[in-house]
Amino acid sequence: MIETGLANKVAVITGAAAGIGRATARRFAAEGCRVASWDVAEGEAENGGLFQKVDVTSTASVAGAVEEVMRRWGAIHVLVNNAGILRDGQLIRIKDGALAGMMSDEQFNSVIDVNLKGVFTCTRAVAPHMIAAGGGVVLNASSVVGLYGNFGQTNYVATKAGVIGMTRVWAANWASSISG
């Protein structure tokens, strides 16, 4: 095993009940991290870590989860904003020259809420603890579609482009906060 410097660090992984989030939580735990796995679905704690049922779109849910992690371990060193959903559909669909369908408000808003607002909500709750401790790492999962687009994914592309933009702004803002 390569020394990663993660031993005894505290990592919060969103969307950790399955897929990339679950694999990320397992890997961080294997590297010696204390892992708080967050998801709206049922899941499992990794290697003595903590599984929390958290809705990343809810300020209260996220704040309660952060409070529990801080009470249990006293710090958060890494936040992996991985939670995300898809609700694909064309903005408008034309068939035989007539409007045949369109993306619903629910399709658009649910993806914006989880994929973009969730990153905002979780980072806003965790970052002050990192800054007070002198630093930390926020890893935001995005996608190349945020740069190049993808057919039928107006909502998803908007969130991934937004995550890229927020990440750039936060990196610039916090670099000065941490370095003085």
Residues that are catalytic: 156
Provide the residue type at 49 as one letter. Answer: G
Alpha-helix residue ranges (DSSP H) falling in 48-104: 59-73
| Rounded CA separation 113/162 (Å) | 12
> What is each CA distance from 92 to 23, 70, 89, 152, in whole angstroms?
36, 46, 8, 9
| Rounded CA separation 78/28 (Å) | 10
